[in-house]
Each structure stands twice: as structure tokens, then as C-alpha cells.
Amino acid sequence: MNHPGTIIKKVQITEKGTGLSEKENKYLFRVDPAANKLEIKQAVEKYFNVAVSKVNTMRYMGKLKKNRASRFGRKPDWKRAIVTLKEGSKIDLS
């Protein structure tokens, strides 16, 4: 397994993510696109010292961006993980 810091890129704090964390004990993470669910689960458990019950992942394609010379480039593809924690576990994001 890779170091948890290379798998978990950052915690996504959005309106949807805040609602999920308050109501359903789920947290959103932007993760390495090559990481699988088992690696994500182990990284979150090790990095935040919590118990994970389920991991859902979604892949996103990078957006097209126009350069000055009217050529198009693309931002990199990325992956989001929704991590569900077991009862009694909580991540302090403040």
C-alpha cells in the first residue's frame, strides 16, 4: 500500500459533502485516480484513525480549457470517494 498522503489528495468541503457528513456520517475525498476502494479504505483508516464501513468512488473527466492561441487543453482527470464511517466514528474537519 502507498502512503495515505499519496492516495488521499484532499478533503472536499462542499454543501453536499457537509450535508452528508452531518446526516449520514459520509465524507468526500478527492483521491488518486489509480487507487482502488480497498486502498482508499486503508488510507482513511490509517490517516484519520476511524473505522470505515463502505467506500463509493466516482471518476470525473477533466474540463476542456481554451488557451490563448485558440487551442484546447484539458485539466487532469480526477476521482472522488464517498467514505461511509461506522457508528461512533467521526472525522474532525475543523
Going residue by residue through the chain (94 aa), what tens digit of pLDDT does each one get?
678 788 999 999 999 999 999 999 999 999 999 999 999 999 999 999 999 999 999 999 999 998 888 888 999 999 999 999 999 999 988 7
Please tell me the predicted confidence (pLDDT) of residue 15. Answer: 94
Instruction: Give the global pTM.
Output: 0.87
Distances in whole angstroms, Cα of residue 85 to Cα of each of 28, 41, 70: 11, 10, 46
Helix (H) or strand (E) holding 47: helix 37-48
Question: CA-to-CA distance for 2 and 72, rounded, in angstroms?
Answer: 34
In terms of Cα–Cα distance, which of 90, 79, 81, 80 is closest to 24? 90
The CATH number corresponding to 4-85 among 3.40.50.11540, 3.10.300.10, 3.55.40.20, 3.30.70.330 equals: 3.30.70.330
Please tell me the predicted confidence (pLDDT) of residue 20. Answer: 93
